[in-house]
Structure 1
Amino acid sequence: MTETNTHPSQCAGCGVKLQTERSDKVGYVPAAALERDPVICQRCFRIKNYNEASTLTVDQNEFLRLLNQVGNTKSLVVHIVDIFDFEGSLISGLQRFIGGNPVVLVVNKIDLLPKLVNHNKIVNWVQRQAKEQGLKVVEVVLCSAKQNVGFDRVLAALDQHRNGRDIYVVGSTNVGKSTLINRLIRDYSDLDNELTVSQYPGTTLDAVRIPIDDGSSIIDTPGIVYEHRLTELVTKKDLQKLMPTREIKPIVFQLNERQSIFFGALARFDFVQGERQSFTFYASNALDLHRTKLEKADQLYEEHKGELLAPPSKEDLDKLPKWTKHAIRIPRGGQKDVYISGLGWVKANAEVGAEIVVHAPKGVKVIMRESLI
C-alpha cells in the first residue's frame, strides 16, 4: 500500500501497520475502508462489529518479538495446542520468552481421539510432555472448539488463575485459536469500549487488545507459522484430507519386517527389522494407506505417485520438499509412537523392539515419543 498524507499508516484500534494486499496477514484493510474515520484493520473491525476474531499469521521472528514483550507484563498466558499435532503446535521455548507469567495449556480437538480414551491419562501425558519442553503449566484443559466441549472448564481455569491480569492468547495456525478468542469475547468483553492501542509506546504488537469489563484485556496474537508441520506445506485442498474433522478410526497393520506403508504420496513408514508385530496408524481417515514390500517401495512410488498414491496430485507433488529419511530404533518394552508432524502417528506395540525408517518431506518434524494412547 502506498501511504499518503490523507490515509493513516496505523490501525486506530491496535496500532498495527496497515496494508491492503494480504487479507491473511496482520494489518489488512480493504482499500475502500481507508476512507473511514477512524481507520481500523479488518481484524479489529470484526471484533468490534461482530464480536469475533479471525485467524491471521506472522512469521516466526515476528512472533518471537511479540512474545518477548509479553515477558515484560504481568499476564496470564493461554497457549492453545492441537492434540492431533501436539509437538508440532507447541511453541518451542515459550517459557523463556514469557518470563514468570503463568500458562494455562488449552488442548483442543480432543473430539478427534477415540471415544474410549481416558481423559485423565491424556492430561497426565500432556503435563509430562510440557515439562519435558521446559514449560511450567498451572493447568491443562482439554476441549473441542468444534463440538463446543470443555469451554466452561477453560473459562473456569482463566477465572481461577487470572487474578485481574490481562490474558494473552497464543498458538500456531490451525489449532482453533480464533474459536476460543470468539468465546472469550462473548463471555468477558464489553465492546461498548473501543479497541485500545498497544500499551507499549513506539512499538507495534501486531496484537489486538479486547477490553474486559474489569479494566484488563484479552490480547489476541496472530498465529505462528511452523513449517515443520506438514499441514503448512500442502495445498488447501490437500489440507482438508490431512486434517481429520471427526473421530479418528485407528488402522492396525500386522507387519513382517521389510514391509512399508505409504500415507498417499505424503510420507512412508518402513518396518526395516524386527519380529512380526502390529502397528496402529492414527491419521485422517480421508487419507489412503497403502501396504507394499520394502524392496518394491521405491519403484511403486516412482510409478504411482500422484495417482494410486495420493494426495498430493501429480501437479502438486513438486510443491512439497523432497523426502528425507529418519531412522528410528524402538526399544524393547514400553509403548512408543512414531510421530510425523501434521500427519499423525504410528503406535508401535513393541514388546520386542523394531527398526523403523520414516520418509517425509524435508523439514517436517519426525520423532519417537511416549505413546499418547
Structure 2
Amino acid sequence: MTHHETDDEMIHCAGCGVKLQLDDPGKLGYVPEQALLKEPVICQRCYRIKHYNDASAITLNQDDFLRLLGHIGSTKSLVVNIVDIFDFEGSMISGLARFVGGNPVLLVVNKIDLLPKVTNLNRIVNWVQKQAKQLGLKIVDVVLCSAKRNLGFDRVIEAIGEHRDGCDVYVVGATNVGKSMLINRLIADFSDLEAELTTSQYPGTTLDIVKIPLDDGKSIIDTPGIVYKHRLTELVPKRDLARIMPDRTIKPLVFQLNEQQTLFFGGLARFDFVKGERQSFTCYIASGLKVHRTKLERADELYAEHLGELLTPPRKEDAGELPPLTKHAISIPKGGKHDVLISGLGWIKLNSEAGAQLVVHAPKGVKVIARDALI
C-alpha cells in the first residue's frame, strides 16, 4: 500500500468495506494504485457500479458463498437463480435447496439463443423442471431467456414482479452465466437511476453485495458470482475461452461411429466409444473447437504427439497449465435418449437407444455426467 498501511480507512473500501488490495483485478477489493490518491478510496467494483452502472462479475469462493446463501434462508425473499443452458449441470449451485429455506426460487435459464432453432422450448422448460426436481429444488417458475439477444427478458421482469410478493429479491449464479448482463437490465427496468446504488457487507464475511433499491422500499440484491472449478471454462486460459464458449447458435456436428473409435475435442477432452453397435452421436459444442476422429488404439499416441498443434486448445505453451486428463467410464443403458455433458465444453447426444459403453477423458476435476437428452 503506502506509508498509511496502518490507517484503517486506507485498507478498506469506503463504499463496501471490503479489504483493498493492489494485486489481482479479478478479486474483491482491487484498487488501481492511482486511485489510492483519491478521497474517499473506493474499490474498482464500487467505482464501476457508481459510474457505469456496471455490477461487474467479482467472484468468491465456495465457503463465503455458502455463508451468504445461509443468510438468505433467514429472510423472506424471492431467490432468482441464473443458470446457463449450455452448461446446465455445471452452472447449477450445488445444495441451493438446503440454503434458500422456504423461499421461492425462480430459475432463469440464460443463453437460450445457443440452442438450434428447431428446438421445442416447452420441452426445454419441462426438462429443466425435471432436472431441478431431481436436485431437490422447489421452483416457482422457469423462464428461458437470452440476455445477449434480449429475448424473453420482459418475461423475466414479469415473473420477478409476480413471485416477489413485496419482498427483496436475491440474484444468485455461477460465473459466466450472464448474471451481470441481467443485473444491468434489472437496474434499468426496476430502479430509478437517480437512486444511489449501495454496496453493503454481509455480516461475518468480507463480501460486498450490490443493492438496487426498488420503488416500494425493498431491494434487488446482487451477490457475486461463484466460481466452480468443475467447469472447463474456469480452467482454460482466458484467451482460449472464446473458442469453447459459443457466442451464437450451436451448429450440431454428427458423427457415425463404430465401437473402438474416439473423438478428440481439441486437446481438452476425449470421447471413446468403447463398445456398442454402430450409431450416430451429435456434438453440441462451440464452432471454434475442432473435433478429430481416430481409432481408439491410436488415441494415446495421437494425444502425446499432437497436443497443442493438431489438438488445440490448449496451445503448446499452455499444455502444462491444465490438469491431466482423467477417465470417466460411462455405461448408457438401452432405451431412452441420453446426453453426456462435459461441463463448460458442451454435450454429446447418443441418437440411438441401443446403449453404449463409453469412456470420457476430461481434465481432472471437470464434471462429466450422463443425463436424459436435452434436445
Relative to the length of structure 2, the TM-score reads 0.95
**2:291 maps to 1:301:** no
Within-5 A mapping of 1:1-373: 1=1, 3-5=5-7, 7-196=9-198, 198=200, 204-373=206-375
Distance 1:47 1:198 in 2: 13
Change (3 A) 1:203 1:267: closer
Distance 2:36 2:76 in 1: 35
Q: Is the 8 A contact 1:26 1:222 kept in 2?
A: no
After TM superposition, the structure 1 stretch with the greater mean CA deviation from structure 2, 312-321 or 189-198, is: 189-198
Deviation digits for residues 213-260 of structure 1 (CA, Å, limit 9, x no counterpart): 221111111111101111111001211101011111111111111000
Distance 2:329 2:317 in 1: 29
Deviation digits for residues 125-144 of structure 1 (CA, Å, limit 9, x no counterpart): 01111111111111111111
What amino acid does structure 1 have at the position aligned with 2:159?
A
Distance 2:62 2:314 in 1: 26
Shift of 1:33: 2.9
Change (3 A) 1:83 1:223: same
After TM superposition, the structure 1 stretch with the greater mean CA deviation from structure 2, 283-292 or 6-15, is: 6-15
Distance 1:203 1:254 in 2: 52
**Any gaps of 5 or more consecutive residues in structure 1?**
none
Deviation digits for residues 290-343 of structure 1 (CA, Å, limit 9, x no counterpart): 011111111111111111111111111110111111111111110000110011
Q: Secondary structure at the match of 1:198?
A: strand
Deviation digits for residues 182-240 of structure 1 (CA, Å, limit 9, x no counterpart): 00111112343334453756654421222222211111111111011111110012111
What amino acid does structure 2 have at the position aligned with 1:305?
L
What amino acid does structure 1 have at the position aligned with 2:30?
Y
Relative to the length of structure 1, the TM-score reads 0.95
What amino acid does structure 2 have at the position aligned with 1:7?
E
What amino acid does structure 2 have at the position aligned with 1:44?
C
- Say how many residue pairs are matched: 373
After TM superposition, the structure 1 stretch with the greater mean CA deviation from structure 2, 255-264 or 60-69, is: 60-69
Distance 2:72 2:207 in 1: 10
**Any gaps of 5 or more consecutive residues in structure 2?**
none
Distance 2:31 2:63 in 1: 23
Distance 1:318 1:199 in 2: 39
Deviation digits for residues 275-302 of structure 1 (CA, Å, limit 9, x no counterpart): 1111111111111000111111111111
Shift of 1:69: 1.4
Fraction of identical pairs, as percent: 70
Distance 1:193 1:8 in 2: 27
Change (3 A) 1:167 1:36: farther
Q: Is the 8 A contact 1:14 1:209 kept in 2?
A: no
Q: Secondary structure at the match of 1:130?
A: helix
Q: What is the root-mean-square deviation in Å for CA atoms of aligned residues? A: 1.7
Distance 1:300 1:117 in 2: 36
Distance 1:200 1:327 in 2: 42
Q: Is the 8 A contact 2:129 2:142 kept in 1?
A: yes
Q: Secondary structure at the match of 2:9?
A: coil
